[in-house]
Amino acid sequence: MRIDLNGVVTSIAQRPCKHFDERLDEADISLLVIHNISLPAGQFGTPYVDDLFMGVINCDAHASFSDLQGLRVSAHCFIKRTGEIIQYVPFAKRAWHAGQSEFDGITTCNNFSIGIELEGTDTTPYTCAQYKTLALISKAIMQRYPKITPSRIVGHCDIAPGRKTDPGESFNWQLFLNMLEQPS
């Protein structure tokens, strides 16, 4: 995978959304945050995650969507169960994925992080295809943004403890970190 100067992965699907803003300084990019999402919760392969990131979700489509009304959220990338990856926000821009957060004593992690959503739940094992894609994109990110090292790849739970639990107990950190060490 190649990331261009604007932070766009040139070989994956692009779905530019409007839920982002400018970074204070692109040189500050130094953290990768792994999340999970499924809409409705525990259901995979629906169009609703895409609809949410694109700002067009029909909140009447499912009873659990009522709290999504007016929510403006995004991730840089979303990795489906099949391993397909979609980019919503160029890495050079600030996606709205972390919310109230802190890492290493610095708040507002959106300012200096990249957010990747995995289609999943805290308790459903992720697929081999997802780990493979996540490792590939993470290696490309670390090459383009060298301040991101394996020790600066965290779960949403690590930057928003008590508020967030993803990617959850089902995420195999050791497997993922081992994959990062393997040649591409």
* pLDDT tens figures, 19-50: 999 998 988 999 999 999 999 999 999 999 99
Choosing from 117, 119, 169, 181, which is the catalytic residue?
117
Asked whether residue 8 is domain-assigned, the answer is no
Question: pTM (2 decimals)?
Answer: 0.97
117 is catalytic: yes
Count up the domains in the chain and report the number.
1
Domain of residue 136, residue span: 15-181
The Cα–Cα gap between 34 and 64 comes to 23
Asked whether residue 2 is domain-assigned, the answer is no
Burial readout 3-27 (b: 16 or more C-beta within 10 A, e: otherwise): beeebbbeebeeeebebbeebeebe
CATH of the domain at 169: 3.40.80.10
10 Å CB burial of residue 114 (0-12, 13-18, 19+) is buried
Tens of pLDDT along 41-98? 999 999 999 999 999 999 999 999 999 999 999 999 999 999 999 999 999 999 999 9
Asked whether residue 35 is domain-assigned, the answer is yes
